[in-house]
A and B are shown apart, each in its own frame.
Chain A
């Protein structure tokens, strides 16, 4: 809930002085489906990260070893606070490592 700011509190001209503060706007509440990355199937090709419009896919320097023993330096994780569930990542993934799972239960 935004504090009820008066005309005296606001910077003049409607200027927004905090860069990128839109991240406080949790657009993740919009989605009806959520992408789930299978970290074992993911080949770290970067394509999902590249195409995400928000962006809501984080490229993290988190090492990961798959069940079959393959080692990766990077891990891609969904920023569920902002992911709108468009499904572009799942659609473009060359190895179908991302599944769209319904948010609606029951």
Chain B
């Protein structure tokens, strides 16, 4: 099964904007790029349910809203539950002939509202099979409250609650594999995506909505954060690109029980085709304290993850 391609080249990407400008995100904000493209790919007929986080507080600061689509924010941990209610409402009202809307439902939540406090609601939504696209924009920490570690923070990364001291240096635990958790719910479609590859991201949003009548979809987008990852603002896209080029954040899809790698990750099963991980790490202040040993450890973890993916691809390819 081939990847679905709605947009082949950059020229095919849609013009209409449904997000911003004027939101209070930092200059160079990765999640802002993610959300802009999520909405452009989804179109105007979408209802966004957003968890508390960077995107939520910067885009709905009363009396201004950056959203040109219907938008609901309830709380931090329950975007999947609130979206379940929206989806059910649309279903019931359509069936009763009270509303004739064809609107789709898309959750936009950060790693804070997904990996940890939001995991229960996400799991419930996936288990119940709601026709909702859940998009996780991952800036790898609770950024909105000032850079505290989350389940999505990578091993060794500095955050304010996993600081670099004499006894402990950065996050002690590894990054939770949220995609495996989601895939374990056996939903029709899940994919990773990257703000540095907006064409790939847009195609995946459209694919997800194509399958939405069959059940829930999940997209995990890596979205770097200048103040949280400690790098100059203009590097956001370059660092996101390196995340995939070094094999740290592979691009792949889980499409009806089959794993499919997307370019450039489709060449990265061969380690020699991946850029050295140091290229990714050395550009970020949150990894500035890493020793040679730490970097070798990270390399080993990435190799192990690719080994796991290789075996998944073999079993589910």
Contacts and interface: CB of A to CB of B under 8 A. Distances in A.
In the complex they form, do A and B come into direct contact, defined as C-beta atoms under 8 angstroms apart?
A: yes
A53 B64 contact: no
Q: Summarize B's interface: helix, strand, loop or mixed.
A: loop
B33 A16 contact: no
Interface of A: 2, 14, 16, 18-27, 30-31, 45-47, 50-56, 59, 79, 81-82, 84-88, 90-92, 100
B33 A20 contact: no
Interface residues of B, number: 40
B27 A84 contact: yes
A16 B28 contact: no
A100 to B, nearest CB: 8
Interface of B: 10-11, 13, 15, 17-18, 20-30, 32-33, 36, 59-60, 62-69, 195, 198, 226, 232-238
B64 A22 contact: yes
Contacts of B67: 19-20
Contact of A88 (B20, B28, B66, B68): B28
B23 A22 contact: yes
Contacts of B195: 51
Nearest to A23: B22
A16 B63 contact: yes
Contact of B236 (A50, A56, A88): A88
Contacts of A21: 22, 63-65
Contact of B13 (A24, A46, A92): A46
Contacts of B63: 2, 16, 21
A22 B33 contact: no
A24 B22 contact: yes
A86 B238 CA distance: 13
Contact of A22 (B17, B22, B238): B22
